[in-house]
Structure 1
């Protein structure tokens, strides 16, 4: 059961919007390697604002993700791609619907 998650807001530097989108799309491969990250979305909120939503069964899996390869890759490129530091918000999942097979 999914109990907790993260919402990460990313604001691209001017001219880096496509690079952020490409980075997030490539991030799927990294997060697919994380057994403790069953739900991960890369999203576009506006032409310059992107985000990541992911969810976990427990706090240990959330912390593992925060210390995992995707987070390391993001932080290594943050100054190049982002207008400011990522906003990382831990969240509690109150309810969830999933009808996908």
Structure 2
């Protein structure tokens, strides 16, 4: 059961939309290595607005993700791709339905 999650909003700089999309797509193999990242979605809300929604079974998993490889890459490169720092919201999950792929 997932209990906690993160919601990030990423606003691409003009002309950097493809870079942000590529970053998100290329992050998936690293995310698959994270045992406690139960659910992870990279989404595009609009032409320049992207996001990540992920969920974890416990706070330790969320903390490991925040300290993980994808977060490190984002911290090192956000200023090249994004018009402002990522908006990061921690949340508690009240109910969920998860199915196999």
Q: In structure 2, what is the Cα distance between the partners aligned to 1:97 and 1:38?
A: 12
RMSD: 0.9
Q: Which residue of 1 aligns with 2:22?
A: 22
Provide TM-score, normalisation by structure 2: 0.96
Where structure 2 has 5 or more consecutive residues not aligned to the other structure, the ranges are: none
Provide TM-score, normalisation by structure 1: 0.96
Which stretches of structure 1, 4 residues or more, deviate above 3 A after TM superposition? none
Count of aligned pairs: 101
Q: In structure 2, what is the Cα distance between the partners aligned to 1:32 and 1:67?
A: 15
Where structure 1 has 5 or more consecutive residues not aligned to the other structure, the ranges are: none
